[in-house]
Structure 1
Amino acid sequence: MIHPHRFKDQVMVVTGAAQGIGRGVALAAAGEGAQLVLADRSALVNEVAQEAAALGAQVVVAEVDLETFAGARSMVAQALECYGRIDILVNNVGGTIWAKPFQEYDEEQIEAEIRRSLFPTLWACRAVLPAMIEQRAGAIVNVSSIATRGIYRIPYSAAKGGVNALTASLALEHAQHGIRVNAVATGGTEAPPRKVPRNPQALSEQEQLWYAGIVEQTRSSSLMKRYGTIDEQVGAILFLASSEASYITGTVLPVGGGDQG
């Protein structure tokens, strides 16, 4: 924790908050005084809400499917009903489902990857904008990835490239409304095993080899030759969300040990 009161009296919406980086953002922000809306389609988000409340935060849980605009609108409506405003939106939903060469993906898998890693950010930004425009203030931090230049997950890479373009264009369009929009391009990140796996099917021997290729490429592309930690990603996300970054917008910050993506 850098500043115990950095987000005092600010309303922060965190998507994908049930585990991983989203959980890390939620708990760190709770410790720094934020009032929280934690969104996820997994009921596990309620456990994170309890952890955040134990740190003294006021917390609202939105169990929604952010692959749909209806889910994003419901999340924003719950936030506004409780707090009357939204100061910060952290878009964290996403993550590759399959690991294999592009020619091995079928049509349904490609569409599923785009729905998973682009649409939740797109929908959440669209849903929150009217409130931020009306209050003429707000900060959006999108979680992207250095995998925009990577192997064996091309649909995911394309989705995160879309997140980067969305970030730049929204920043240009809405700076006039006092809204800052930035992204953190996360590198490989060490995390506990997912409680809800993105792909529940066991990997075949060939798929394990392809996934090992991703790990090797990620480490070799990092100048530091390692994966990062959740805390290292959270620190960058919360910096861009905070007033310390008040003159930064339209930026994609790579946090990948020197890999620029």
Structure 2
Amino acid sequence: MSTGSASAPAERSQKVFPGRFDGKAAVVTGAAQGIGLAVARRISAEGAAVVLVDRSELVHEVAAELVAAGAKATSVTADLEQFAGAEAAVAEAVAANGRIDVLINNVGGTIWAKPYEHYAAEEIQQEIQRSLFPTLWTCRAALPQLVAQGAGVIVNVSSVATRGVNRVPYAAAKGGVNALTQSLALEAAPHGIRVVATAPGGTEAPVRKVKRGPEPEQEQEKAWYQQIVDQTVNSSLLKRYGTLDEQAAAIVFLASDEASYITGTVLPVAGGDLG
């Protein structure tokens, strides 16, 4: 969950570890905004050659920013809700860097916030399409390359909202991401591939340039959204939202060689809320 509606400490400065990803080729999806953008900045600052994937043209601005800072970065626009888009993005990533050492699947996010009985059938389908299929498709598209290499890391971004109010379809989608992570880890381990995930909690982020869905307008819609905010804070032992840097730190750690004995794990990053 990403929002700007709950109090959090001032954004902490990145604790970058230069050289941690030297010689590594990384792919970050959903890299134009939010957590994906924070991850792209950090992993490139730590030495990775990065391919940034997003359906928004904003991703090209991010790549230009990283190149200006001295990183090796390229950008790809793709619709990862479709397998063809995932295949094309993976092909461009391999063409750019020759391999994929790290795949970070960050696409997803709640579109609507309301009790389940108020969701229309097409809204349920859209939520699943948005928050499960991009990870399913991109894992499938990248896996042959990782198997051929005999090495690689996949970090999926899930959510502790698998146990949360007013977004049942999103919760179901992220539950699918958790199951994918744990099951694929079993299959991938013999090939030298680790598959892990983080489960972010509420995260302070700037206002999105590309909205996930309609803003709450009616008083009832605002009340339903406030219930999500209240539950998120109350479920956190630290009683606050996290920062983008706190989310990126966990993701990049799991992607690094420091986490070489961790696979099949979903790590909650939610101030003590285990989801």
TM-score, normalised by the number of residues in structure 1 = 0.99
Residue correspondences, number: 261
Contact 1:122 1:166 in 2 (8 A): yes
Whole-Å separation in 2 of the counterparts to 1:142 and 1:28: 17
The residue that corresponds to 1:67 in the other structure is 81
Structure 1, unpaired ranges of 5+: none
Q: Is the 8 A contact 1:16 1:22 kept in 2?
A: yes
- Aligned: 1:42 with 2:53: no
Do residues 178 (structure 1) and 192 (structure 2) align? yes
Instruction: Confirm or deny: 8 A CA contact 1:30 1:55 kept in the other structure.
Output: no
CA contact (8 A) 1:27 1:51 kept: no
1:94 maps to 108
Q: Which aligned pairs between 1:7-22 and structure 2 lie closer than 5 A?
A: 7-22=21-36
Given that 2:60 and 2:76 are in contact with CA atoms closer than 8 Å, whether structure 1 keeps it comes out as no
Provide the C-alpha distance between the structure 1 equivalents of 2:20 and 2:211, rounded to a whole number of angstroms. Answer: 33
Q: For 1:142, which of 126, 151, 156 is the aligned residue?
A: 156
- Greater CA deviation, 194-203 or 55-64? 194-203
Measure the CA separation in 2 of the matches of 1:98 and 1:148. 15
Q: How far does residue 5 in structure 1 lie from its aligned partner after superposition?
A: 0.4
Q: 2:131 corresponds to which residue?
A: 117
Give 1:57 deviation, angstroms. 1.4
Paired amino acid for 1:60: T
Q: Tell me, in whole angstroms, the C-alpha distance in 2 between the residues paired with 1:221 and 1:186.
A: 13
Q: How does 1:144-163 map to 2 (within 5 A)?
A: 144-163=158-177
User: Which residue among 48, 51, 56 is the counterpart of 2:65?
Assistant: 51
Q: Aligned partners of 2:86, 2:247: CA distance in 1, in Å?
A: 24
Q: What SS does the aligned partner of 1:253 have?
A: strand
**1:177-196 to 2 correspondence within 5 Å?**
177-196=191-210
Q: Secondary structure at the match of 2:158?
A: strand
Check if 1:247 corresponds to 2:261.
yes
2:27 maps to amino acid: V
- Quote the offset at 1:19 in angstroms: 0.4
Which deviations, in whole Å up to 9, do the C-alpha atoms of 1:56-98 show, x marking residues without a partner? Answer: 2111211000000000000000011111100000000000000
Contact 1:30 1:56 in 2 (8 A): no
TM-aligned CA deviation for residue 202 of structure 1: 5.1
Q: Name the aligned partner's letter for residue 169 of structure 1.
A: S
State how far apart, in whole Å, the 2-side matches of 1:202 and 1:215 are.
13
Question: How many Å apart are 1:200 and its aligned residue?
Answer: 3.7
Distance 1:238 1:170 in 2: 20
SS at match of 2:268: strand
More deviation in 11-20 or 44-53? 44-53
Q: Supply the AA of the counterpart residue of 2:18.
A: P
The answer on whether the counterparts of 1:222 and 1:259 sit within 8 Å (CA) in structure 2 is yes
Worse-superposed segment, 45-54 or 154-163? 45-54
Cα distance, 1:30 vs structure 2: 1.2
> Distance in 2 between the 1:116 and 1:229 partners?
23
Can you list the C-alpha shifts for 1:196-237, whole angstroms capped at 9, x where unaligned? 001145532211110000000000000000000000000000
1:216 aligns with 2:236: no
